[in-house]
């Protein structure tokens, strides 16, 4: 009897108790929730790192069962890594009063639902937890804010995730019907259909293009700690479902793998592009989430392709790259969303053009923010780069192993991911610059105060964890590679991969820190003149001439006009005597798929509904006519023997 089940049950019980207690005493309840999440995460991490699996195995009958295996353990640890700091920080982020208490209680329920999806071992429990995971944050957002815009956004969120969510139901119930849960994987045409259904159902929840439209709308309006959970943990749990179906329960056909790869590439590139031109911090982070999910999806597709080609070692590397990408994303995105909550509370705005100079006013929160942003900007030696590196390594192996035409497709994927990394760099340099550096750009930013201790501890802990993830990525990627559900052998992968130059993260970090320190010391010995304003052609710096979010990305907007469709408006206000009293410039970028895909679908749906409504004329005679027609049709069917 190991301690893992006890840990897990204690964690779940603490979460439940915390959720109930939070309704009365939010602060104590949230603290209890943080402890519960941490316990659950410890149980998950223990199993992920080699302790034997606990609880039931997967089963196709519908009696409820719970259990943790290696893959589930990784995701439990991931959920806890976001949830524990999010709950700890939530007490200071939520408003006092009944609304805050209700959101605090729902937070605990949300974390429990996330954990239940990962721990479920039968189709019904999984689907029930899945629906709760969708609905609870929607309720929490509506409790937190009840304006019309929020209601409309939640409608879009529920509409997309529920219409597409049918795919998850179809996939899981079909798999349970044929006994593939815990049995032999489903292949052939049925396996193909189930894989496609899962791709739609889980992909929509993960925010994969083209079913992503809800994500950049819903994540920004949620309370910060819920944004952190939704963006860091929920989309990862959605990909968890996809991994189970595609790796364990079906043998997906090449077309399904290609669809996953295409959706992933479109998400990565499109998400990064929109993040680079975003003008609001949480919107930027939400689009970056789409990008990160896309990169993970590409790695998963590479793993499937490599497994089909028989290269199990490289397939395990690709799966590990996807998991590492999700872990890094969860830590950094959770961190940044919590920081955004602290910044919104302190500076009163999240518009990038209204922040600035916060590194001096919020040194702790700002420092953690910088670590998270640089992680997601994919610069070495941080975790984002390590995941990107491992993904590219796996892709290059796929290029070398398969047919030459597969090589062409993979080369296109490599080029796309490289462009994505460049765009992410632009997006997060912009985010750091406009948020932390330079002069404050609004009165709120100029008077911002450092966040309370609980938030500082939460984001500081996440920053340390993000750095530790990068430093430990060598051994970790080996552990992750060994737990593929395909039963891939432990291939002893570190970052000294064969057929690569290796990525010695600790040595690299040491080199960068040491060389930078020595050179900085040498430079500092040269002395520094008295402080003077930055150069602006000898004139005093005019705040109105400061660079803006739109301005910094302007060149990108112009060169990527095909995808962004920039539009500018110039409003010139003239006084009564014809003199110009004010000029306002506004420019917007289109979200391409919103116009090209969703608008026609929405229009067609509304038109069809309008036509269908004509049946409901309200006239008694028409309804009697329908009844007569139905009876006649049934009689005719009986006559020709169609009803047996």
Partner 1 sequence: MSATIAAAAVVQLAGAVALAPLIPGAVRAVERRLQGLRGPSPLQPYRELRRLWRRSGVAPVPRTAVYAVAPPLAAAATLAAALLVPVGAVAPDWGLGGDALLLVGLLALGRAALALAAWDTGSGFALMGAARDLAFAPYLEALLLAVVAIAAVGAGTTDLGEIAAATAERPLLSAPEQWLAALAFALVAVAESGRRPYDNPDTHLELTMIHEGPLLEYAGRELALLQWTAAVRQWVAIVLGVALFAPVGGPWAGRVAALAGLVAVAVVALAVSETAQAKMRLLRVPRWVGAGVAVCAVAVVLRAIGGAP
Residues 416-445 that bind partner 1 (CB under 8 A): 416-423, 425-426, 429-430, 432-434, 436-439
Bridge pairing between strands 580-588 and 567-574? antiparallel
The dihedrals phi and psi of 259, each to the nearest 5 degrees, come to -65, -45
Q: Say whether residue 472 binds partner 1 (CB under 8 A).
A: no
Binding-site member from 233, 355, 378, 480 for partner 1 (CB under 8 A)? 378
Closer to partner 1 at the Cβ: 195 or 471?
A: 471
* Nearest distance, CB of residue 601 and partner 1, angstroms: 30
Whether 206 and 242 have beta carbons less than 8 Å apart is answered as yes
Distance CA 305, CA 398 (A): 7
Q: Say whether residue 539 binds partner 1 (CB under 8 A).
A: no
Whether 485 and 248 have beta carbons less than 8 Å apart is answered as yes
* Nearest distance, CB of residue 557 and partner 1, angstroms: 9
* Nearest distance, CB of residue 328 and partner 1, angstroms: 14
* Nearest distance, CB of residue 353 and partner 1, angstroms: 13
Distance CA 382, CA 391 (A): 15
Distance CA 52, CA 389 (A): 30
Per DSSP, what are the bridge partners of residue 572? 583
* Side-chain-facing half-sphere of 66: CA atoms under 13 Å: 16
Q: Say whether residue 551 binds partner 1 (CB under 8 A).
A: yes
Closer to partner 1 at the Cβ: 55 or 407?
A: 407
Binding-site member from 25, 184, 487, 511 for partner 1 (CB under 8 A)? 511
Within positions 391 to 410, which residues make up the interface with partner 1, using CB under 8 A?
392-393, 396, 399-400, 404-405, 407-408
Q: Is 574 helix (H, G, I), strand (E, B) or coil?
A: strand
Closer to partner 1 at the Cβ: 96 or 520?
A: 520
Question: Omega into 171 within 30° of 0, i.e. cis?
Answer: no
Beta carbons within 10 angstroms of residue 139's beta carbon = 15
User: Which of 502, 506, 497 lies closest to 470 in space, CA to CA?
Assistant: 506
Q: Which residue stretch of 59-67, 249-257, 470-478, 553-561 sits at the interface with partner 1 (rule: CB under 8 A)?
A: 553-561
Distance CA 414, CA 403 (A): 16
Distance CA 159, CA 162 (A): 5
Q: Say whether residue 580 binds partner 1 (CB under 8 A).
A: no
Within positions 335 to 364, which residues make up the interface with partner 1, using CB under 8 A?
357, 359-360
* Nearest distance, CB of residue 552 and partner 1, angstroms: 5
Q: DSSP state, 437?
A: S
Closer to partner 1 at the Cβ: 245 or 284?
A: 284
* Nearest distance, CB of residue 475 and partner 1, angstroms: 16
Within positions 81 to 140, which residues make up the interface with partner 1, using CB under 8 A?
none
Q: Say whether residue 538 binds partner 1 (CB under 8 A).
A: no
Binding-site member from 1, 148, 189, 499 for partner 1 (CB under 8 A)? 499
How many residues bind partner 1 (CB under 8 A)? The answer is 85
Q: Is 548 exposed, middle or buried (0-12, 13-18, 19+ CB in 10 A)?
A: middle
* Nearest distance, CB of residue 425 and partner 1, angstroms: 6
CA dihedral angle for residue 21, residue 22, residue 25, residue 30, rounded to 10 degrees:
110
Closer to partner 1 at the Cβ: 411 or 617?
A: 411
DSSP 336-374: HHHHHHHHHHHHS--BGGG---HHHHSHHHHHHHHHHHH
Binding-site member from 148, 545, 570, 635 for partner 1 (CB under 8 A)? 545
Closer to partner 1 at the Cβ: 523 or 608?
A: 523
Within positions 207 to 236, which residues make up the interface with partner 1, using CB under 8 A?
none
Q: Is 280 helix (H, G, I), strand (E, B) or coil?
A: strand
Q: Which residue stretch of 117-125, 335-343, 495-503, 571-579 sits at the interface with partner 1 (rule: CB under 8 A)?
A: 495-503
CA dihedral angle for residue 413, residue 415, residue 420, residue 421, rounded to 10 degrees:
120
Q: Say whether residue 541 binds partner 1 (CB under 8 A).
A: yes
Closer to partner 1 at the Cβ: 364 or 547?
A: 547
* Nearest distance, CB of residue 410 and partner 1, angstroms: 8
Distance CA 560, CA 72 (A): 40
Binding map of partner 1 across residues 555-574, x = CB under 8 A, - = no contact: xx-xx---------------
Q: Which residue stretch of 55-63, 148-156, 445-453, 508-516 sits at the interface with partner 1 (rule: CB under 8 A)?
A: 508-516
**Structure tokens, 282:** 């949480």
Closer to partner 1 at the Cβ: 345 or 508?
A: 508
Q: Which residue stretch of 57-65, 192-200, 464-472, 525-533 sits at the interface with partner 1 (rule: CB under 8 A)?
A: 525-533
Distance CA 621, CA 176 (A): 46
Q: Which residue stretch of 178-186, 253-261, 288-296, 378-386 sits at the interface with partner 1 (rule: CB under 8 A)?
A: 378-386
* Nearest distance, CB of residue 316 and partner 1, angstroms: 18
Whether 421 and 378 have beta carbons less than 8 Å apart is answered as yes
Distance CA 30, CA 89 (A): 9
Angle at 448 (CA atoms; ends 445, 454), nearest 5 degrees? 135
H-run or E-run covering 582: strand 580-588
Q: Which residue stretch of 47-55, 163-171, 201-209, 390-398 sits at the interface with partner 1 (rule: CB under 8 A)?
A: 390-398
Closer to partner 1 at the Cβ: 192 or 389?
A: 389
Q: DSSP state, 259?
A: H
Q: Say whether residue 377 binds partner 1 (CB under 8 A).
A: yes
Q: Say whether residue 526 binds partner 1 (CB under 8 A).
A: yes
**CA distances (Å), 411 to each of 44, 105, 394, 407, in order?**
36, 48, 12, 6
Binding-site member from 1, 148, 189, 532 for partner 1 (CB under 8 A)? 532
Within positions 1 to 60, which residues make up the interface with partner 1, using CB under 8 A?
none
Closer to partner 1 at the Cβ: 531 or 610?
A: 531
Beta carbons within 10 angstroms of residue 52's beta carbon = 11
Closer to partner 1 at the Cβ: 90 or 421?
A: 421
Q: Which residue stretch of 191-199, 207-215, 239-247, 542-550 sits at the interface with partner 1 (rule: CB under 8 A)?
A: 542-550
* Nearest distance, CB of residue 534 and partner 1, angstroms: 4
User: Which of 239, 246, 134 lies closest to 185 in space, CA to CA?
Assistant: 246
């Amino acid at each position: 009897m190991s301690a893992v089940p006890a840990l897990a049950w204690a964690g779940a019980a603490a979460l439940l108790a915390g959720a109930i207690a939070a309704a009365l005493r939010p602060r104590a309840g949230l603290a209890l929730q943080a402890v519960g999440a941490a316990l659950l995460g410890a149980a998950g991490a223990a199993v992920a790192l080699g302790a034997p699996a606990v609880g039931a195995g997967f089963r196709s009958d519908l009696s409820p069962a719970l259990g943790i295996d290696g893959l589930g353990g990784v995701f439990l640890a991931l959920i806890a890594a976001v949830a524990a700091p999010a709950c700890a920080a939530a007490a200071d982020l939520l408003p006092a009063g009944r609304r805050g208490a209700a959101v605090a209680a729902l937070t605990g329920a949300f974390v429990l639902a996330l954990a239940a999806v990962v721990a479920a071992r039968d189709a019904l429990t999984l689907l029930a937890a899945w629906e709760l995971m969708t609905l609870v944050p929607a309720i929490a957002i509506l409790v937190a804010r009840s304006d019309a815009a929020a209601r409309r956004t939640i409608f879009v969120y529920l509409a997309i995730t529920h219409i597409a969510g049918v795919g998850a139901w179809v996939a899981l119930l079909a798999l349970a019907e044929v006994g593939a849960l815990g049995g032999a994987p489903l292949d052939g045409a049925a396996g193909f259909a189930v894989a496609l259904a899962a791709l739609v159902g889980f992909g929509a929840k993960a925010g994969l293009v083209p079913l992503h439209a809800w994500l950049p709308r819903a994540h920004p309006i949620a309370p910060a700690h819920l944004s952190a959970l939704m963006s860091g943990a929920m989309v990862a749990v959605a990909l968890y479902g996809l991994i189970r179906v595609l790796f364990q329960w079906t043998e997906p056909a090449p077309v399904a793998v290609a669809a996953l790869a295409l959706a992933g590439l479109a998400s990565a590139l499109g998400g990064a592009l929109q993040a680079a031109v975003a003008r609001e911090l949480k919107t930027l982070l939400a689009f970056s989430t789409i990008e990160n999910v896309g990169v993970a999806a590409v790695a998963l597709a590479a793993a499937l392709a490599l497994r089909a080609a028989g290269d199990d070692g490289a397939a395990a590397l690709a799966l590990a790259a996807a998991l590492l990408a999700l872990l890094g994303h969860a830590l950094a995105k959770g961190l940044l969303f919590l920081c955004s909550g602290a910044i919104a509370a302190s500076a009163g705005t999240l518009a990038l053009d209204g922040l600035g100079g916060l590194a001096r006013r919020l040194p702790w929160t700002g420092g953690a923010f910088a670590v998270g942003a640089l992680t997601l900007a994919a610069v070495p030696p941080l975790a984002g780069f390590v995941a990107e590196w491992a993904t590219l390594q796996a892709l290059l192996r796929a290029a070398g192993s398969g047919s030459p035409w597969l090589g062409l497709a993979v080369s296109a994927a490599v080029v796309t991911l490289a462009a994505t990394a460049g765009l992410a760099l632009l997006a997060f340099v912009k985010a750091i610059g406009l948020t932390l550096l330079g002069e404050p750009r609004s009165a709120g930013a100029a008077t911002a105060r450092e966040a309370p201790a609980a938030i500082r501890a939460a984001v500081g802990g996440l920053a340390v964890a993000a750095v530790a993830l990068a430093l430990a990525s060598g051994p970790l990627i080996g552990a992750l590679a060994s737990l593929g559900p395909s039963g891939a052998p432990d291939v002893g992968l570190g970052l000294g991969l064969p057929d690569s130059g290796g990525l010695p993260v600790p040595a690299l970090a040491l080199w960068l820190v040491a060389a930078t320190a020595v050179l900085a010391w040498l430079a500092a010995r040269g002395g520094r003149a008295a402080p003077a304003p930055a150069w602006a052609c000898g004139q005093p710096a005019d705040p109105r001439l400061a660079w803006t979010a739109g301005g910094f990305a302007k060149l990108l907007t112009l060169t990527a006009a095909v995808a962004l469709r920039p539009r500018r408006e110039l409003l010139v206000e003239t006084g009564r005597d014809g003199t110009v009293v004010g000029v306002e410039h506004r420019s917007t970028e289109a979200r391409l798929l919103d116009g090209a895909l969703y608008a026609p679908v929405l229009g067609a749906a509304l038109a069809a509904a309008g036509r269908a409504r004509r049946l409901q004329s309200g006239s008694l005679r028409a309804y009697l006519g329908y009844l007569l027609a139905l009876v006649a049709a049934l009689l005719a069917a009986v006559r020709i023997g169609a009803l047996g």
